[in-house]
Amino acid sequence: MHICYEFIIVIKKTCLSFNSQSMIEILILSFVQGVTEFLPISSSSHLILLSNLIGFDEKSLSIDISMHIGSFLAVITYFYKDFINLIENINLFTKILISSIPVMIVGFFAIQTGLIEKLRNIEVIGWMTLTFGVLLYVSDKFKLEKNINKDFNYKSALLIGLFQILSLIPGVSRSGITITAARLLNFNRVDSAKISFLLSVPTLGAVSIYGFKDLIVSEDINFSFLNLICIILSFLFSIITIKYFLKYIKRFSLNIFVIYRIVLAMVIFYYAYL
């Protein structure tokens, strides 16, 4: 009883220690992560741009990991039926795993060599946003004839996985490049998006597992509690985005995202070169 009372007191002090600015920053960052992670507009570029332009105090590696954990849990929750039927879908998940191996290997070496940090600049983000926005437009003109159940074989899984390596460059968009690759292979829009969402599971899972240990062993309860809030908010925004994005592309093309990327690129070029 005494332990429970002390725990409540600690939580109360923790909540009071957060100022309104911190909570607003976490809300904005979680919203940006949840929405842009699954739309073909690049989550990393938006988070980098926000941090550079606004200078959020709460933007850190631990917060970034927390937001990815929230997105990871959202995908698992939304596609829970596919995961429950794991035995029936063992071939699908094997293909998803194979498709994710290239980006994990290249990503590991890119981090170890410091290449990732060298690419995190506004000029690279601008050009990648524009270039892969145009490629998304081109790919969306391809035929809508293949679906995930009949045509997602090991060859297409590997090809999409190789394309996904490009998502390590800020501005490319992991969702954008995987949808683009699937569309280039003639998968319909909805199944292209589903492939993209399923491909996010191993990647987000790897980031989540890597960071979860640091969150658990943290001795600073303020740090842990703030991360918990971030996970919950990112989860909510992510699952809403997945649901309505799938509904949207059943009826419309990807042109709105292409236009957004071109406009965003122009804004970035203005700040970068003028």
125 Cβ contact list (under 8 Å, min separation 6) = 42, 45, 48, 49, 170, 171, 268
For 187, list phi and psi in degrees, rounded to 5: -75, 145
Residues 197-239: tens digit of each pLDDT: 999 988 888 777 766 666 566 555 555 677 788 889 999 999 9
Classify residue 89: in a domain, yes or no.
yes
Q: What is the pTM of this model?
A: 0.84
Classify residue 267: in a domain, yes or no.
yes
Classify residue 13: in a domain, yes or no.
no
Classify residue 2: in a domain, yes or no.
no
- Separation between Cα atoms, residue 100 and residue 200, nearest integer Å: 8
Classify residue 5: in a domain, yes or no.
no
Classify residue 150: in a domain, yes or no.
yes
Q: Which residues pair with 187 in a beta bridge?
A: 146
Q: What is the pLDDT of residue 106?
A: 92
Which has the minimum average pLDDT: 20-24, 85-89, 195-199? 85-89
Q: What is the pLDDT of residue 163?
A: 96
The terminus-to-terminus CA distance of the chain in angstroms comes to: 63
Closest CA to 70 of 240, 211, 233: 233
Q: Is the pLDDT of residue 3 over 50?
A: no
Which structural domain range is residue 163 located in? 24-49+57-273
On whether the CB atoms of residues 96 and 201 are closer than 8 A, the answer is yes
Higher pLDDT, 90 or 125: 125
Q: Is the pLDDT of residue 142 over 50?
A: yes
pLDDT band of 45, cuts 50, 70, 90: confident
Classify residue 14: in a domain, yes or no.
no
Q: Is the pLDDT of residue 189 over 80?
A: yes
- Split into its structural domains, the chain has a count of 1
The mean pLDDT value of the chain amounts to 83
Classify residue 18: in a domain, yes or no.
no
- Separation between Cα atoms, residue 89 and residue 66, nearest integer Å: 29
